Every structure is written in C-alpha cells, then in structure tokens.
Amino acid sequence: MDTNKSEFRDEMPRVMNAEDEKFLVQWLIESNKQLAQRNRELLVENLNLTSRVETLEKISFIDFTTGIHNRGYLQQRLEEEFSRSRRTGTSLSCLFIDLDDFKKVNDTYGHLTGDRLLRDVAMLLKSFCRREDVLVRFGGEEFVILMSCTGHRKAQLVAERIRTKMEACIFDYDDFRLSITISVGVSTLKKNDFKHVKNPEELIWTADRAMYEVKQHGKNHFFYLPFSSDRLDFAPAVAATT
C-alpha cells in the first residue's frame, strides 16, 4: 500500500515555484519578440516581392523600341475601357495608324534609322493624346490610340490633325532629313453599338479595316468606318466637320 502511494506521488505534476514562473514568463516574452521580428521581416520581404512583380509587369507592357506601351497593354486596357463605356453609355473610339511606305526607310537608311523614326513618330503621336488616352505600338509600323468618352466626329478631327501634322513634319537626322505620311482608320463604339458588339476587339478590327481602305485608295488619308455600315464606300476626308 505504501508503494502505491509513492508511485502516485511521483506521477503528480510538480508545482512551479517563483523561479520557474519567472523563467517561463521571460521565455514567452523572448519568443514573442522573435516571432514579431520574423513577422516584420516576412512583411518586408512580401512588400519587396510585390514591388518587383509590379515593376516586372510594367516593364512587360513597354515597347523597348519606342518607349510607349505595347499590344499586351492595349489588350488589358481595351477590356477595361469597353466595360466602362458600356456601363456609362459613353462612346469609345479607336485610331489605327500605319506609316506609309515605311519599308523604304529601312531599305534606304537601315533599321537603326527606322527605329529612330518610330521613336520620333511615337513621341509626336503622344503629344496629341490626353492623359486618359491609350497609345500603343501595335506592331511593326502600326500604332493604336484608344480614346474614351470620344465620339466619331471628335475622333475624326483628331485623326486629321495628326495626319496633317505628320505630313508637314521633317525629321532631321544630322546627315539627312526624313518625312513620312500616315494612313489612319477610325472606328467608334456608340451607346447603341454595345447592344450587339460583345467582343471589345471588334473596335480594333473595324479601325484596322478602315485603315486598309485608305491604303487601297492612295494612302495619306483617314477613313471612318461605322459599325452600322454594311458597305465600305471610300470617301477620303481632308477635314472632319461631319
């Protein structure tokens, strides 16, 4: 019987004295400090990683030849602007711009000069853009300007202003001077168009088709192709007053 009592006493938890309690409290405090420090380090690492990801994303949307945004950026913004215009009932316009006979520049002066001309053209186009407009190099010698809250008359007016400015501009490259013209296709999604247009890229395709019509009829003009049009009657315009 005495043996059983002894075993029972050995299994009972030892009551902590004051020194044990002090050690435990200090250990908990130190552990919490270490955890807090590690949490701060993880937070900083996460913020740095997020910043790097955002930087890489921004870089991925830049066209390195011209310094403006690229086609990938247009695809992202087109979805946003299409949804916003459909929701608010405002017009969304697109200018599809192609440099006329750009291949001759590369063949005559070399691709480095061609790249330089593309950069200068991009800067000229940028000067006509509002802060909310989206200017991108679509590919090769093609550029696109996406214009929110802009009707077809305003878009045509901007297209003609850009075309006129480009035609008159002389690009001075030390040993020689260059000039170039552009063909511009214009398209506009109006409030009623959103009822049957489901794919935002139709705005780009329509402007591209309009630009192609200009190419087929002499270049150095702009042409507006409405979504409601079943025909592609071409009437190059020199002013956008209608």
What is the set of active-site residues? 141
Which secondary-structure segment (H or E) carries 154? Answer: helix 152-168
Q: At what angle do helices 102-109 and 111-126 cross, to 10 degrees?
A: 140
Per-residue pLDDT tens digits for 89-146: 999 999 999 999 999 999 999 999 999 999 999 999 999 999 999 999 999 999 999 9
| pLDDT score, position 237 | 47
Task: Mention every residue, 6+ apart, whose C-beta is less than 8 A from residue 199.
Answer: none
CA–centroid distance for 151 within its chain = 22
For residue 23, name the pLDDT band (cuts at 50, 70, 90).
confident
Q: Using H for helix, E for strand and C for coil, what is the string for 62-103?
A: ECCCCCCEEHHHHHHHHHHHHHHHHHHCCCEEEEEEEECCHH
pLDDT at 47 over 90: no
Joined tokens for residue 174: 């030390």
| pLDDT score, position 17 | 74
Angle CA 216–119–219, to nearest 5? 15
Q: Return the amino acid letter for 44.
A: V
| pLDDT score, position 239 | 38
Per-residue pLDDT tens digits for 138-157: 999 999 999 999 999 999 99
The residues that bridge with 183 in the sheet, in sequence order, are 98
User: What number of other Cβ atoms are within 10 A of residue 179's Cβ?
Assistant: 10
Least-confidence region, from 15-19, 45-49, 121-125: 45-49
For residue 22, name the pLDDT band (cuts at 50, 70, 90).
confident
pLDDT at 242 over 90: no
